[in-house]
Amino acid sequence: MLAPMQGVTNRALRALFIRQVRPDVLFTEFMRVNPAAAVRRLSAVDLREIAPSQEGAPLVIQLIGHGREALVSAALAAQDAGAAHLNLNLGCPYGRMTSGLTGGGMLSRPEELPAIITELRRAIIGTFSVKLRSGYDDPGQIFSLLPLFEASGVDFIVLHPRTVIQEYEGVADHAVTAAVVRRTRVPVIANGDIRTAADGWRLLESSGAAGLMLGRGAIADPLLFQRLRGQASAQPDKKERGVELQRYLHDLVDRYGELFCGENQLLGKVKGILATMNDPDFEKERKRLKKSRTVREFRAELARIG
């Protein structure tokens, strides 16, 4: 699965991934639920993004918000707009900093979750999943939530085994993932710190997870999907990586040119992709690309890679 990443996994990037590596499942960026709106819980922009699939690949619509009534209303609106797969975000660490406690912040009020999860499951006709951290401040909190997910009929969970207050510090503790897999019949998708094919294979073997969700590792290297499938080199040399990087970023600039207005916005989005990359062999090139002020300069710097 391609992870939902705010400001990154827009429809242009998803289309590129479908064409190049075709993830088995795609997620939208999260769609904010407006608790104050009496009628329109989702923005007009988000509603236009909703579909059951994208170019034949299942598309999961991720909702982030708080309040049972607002979330259920948004789920119904998404279904009316064509959604077949819905996901509730209980993992975003920045949701704890808002007044309404959305995303991972909802884990700080576990007493509210049974009504929300149960009502969402009743309202959602298609698949319903939850993406969450292992806990708010206790990595063992996930175990107390498993009976709720099982009883309410959640189709699968995506687990990122850090706590909410950890944000992205430290490492994802996939010993927790393995323990969750052993203790629930709900399929578990493992997420967090999967940067290489070896990381993914090791995690699948050690945890017994039903699948993997790839985030920053795949954004930095889309062929990670193919490497995991054994359809691309698991350890490409520098020349291969350079050619792949050139193709990826050239294609991304082309697609972003159709989606974003003006060079500043386009380059800002592409430079956000560069921020996920940590290949030491191309660190100088990455820095030069980040300094580009025009698309022409960016493409010229790309041509120098090799």
**166-177 pLDDT tens trace:** 999 999 999 999
Residue 112 Ramachandran class (φ > 0 left, ψ -120 to 50 alpha, else beta): alpha
In this predicted model, what pLDDT tens digit does every residue of 208-235 receive, in sequence order?
999 999 999 999 999 999 999 999 999 9
If asked whether residues 124 and 203 sit together in one domain, one would say yes
Considering the domain boundaries, does residue 6 fall inside one? Answer: no
Cα distances from 177 to residues 69, 79, 158, 215, 301, in angstroms, run: 31, 31, 10, 17, 41
Q: Using the 3D structure, point to which of 169, 195, 228 is the last residue of a domain.
A: 228
If asked whether residues 222 and 247 sit together in one domain, one would say no
CATH number for the domain harbouring residue 135: 3.20.20.70
In the structure, what pLDDT confidence band is assigned to residue 163 with cuts at 50, 70 and 90?
very high
Considering the domain boundaries, does residue 167 fall inside one? Answer: yes
Contact 128, 86 (CB under 8 A): yes
Q: Output the six-digit token pair for 263.
A: 């060079």
Domain count, the chain: 2
On the CB side of 48, CA atoms within 13 Å amount to 5
If asked whether residues 28 and 144 sit together in one domain, one would say yes
pLDDT of residue 306 exceeding 90, the answer is no
If asked whether residues 166 and 298 sit together in one domain, one would say no
pLDDT of residue 236 exceeding 90, the answer is yes
Considering the domain boundaries, does residue 2 fall inside one? Answer: no
End-to-end CA distance of the chain, in Å?
Answer: 30
If asked whether residues 177 and 255 sit together in one domain, one would say no
If asked whether residues 67 and 216 sit together in one domain, one would say yes
If asked whether residues 261 and 219 sit together in one domain, one would say no
Considering the domain boundaries, does residue 4 fall inside one? Answer: no
In this predicted model, what pLDDT tens digit does every residue of 75-121 receive, in sequence order?
999 999 999 999 999 999 886 555 568 999 999 999 999 999 999 99
In this predicted model, what pLDDT tens digit does every residue of 24-56 receive, in sequence order?
999 999 999 987 765 668 988 899 999 999 999
Q: Using the 3D structure, point to which of 171, 197, 228 is the last residue of a domain.
A: 228
Give residue 81's pLDDT.
Answer: 95
Sign of CA pseudo-dihedral 168, 174, 175, 179: positive
If asked whether residues 178 and 97 sit together in one domain, one would say yes
The conformation of residue 294, written as its DSSP 8-state character, comes to S
How far apart are the C-alpha atoms of 185 and 3, rounded to whole Å? Answer: 22
If asked whether residues 53 and 110 sit together in one domain, one would say yes
If asked whether residues 196 and 259 sit together in one domain, one would say no
In this predicted model, what pLDDT tens digit does every residue of 175-189 receive, in sequence order?
999 999 999 999 999
- For 273, the domain range is 238-303
If asked whether residues 205 and 256 sit together in one domain, one would say no
Of 211, 239, 235, nearest to 223 by C-alpha is 235
If asked whether residues 85 and 150 sit together in one domain, one would say yes
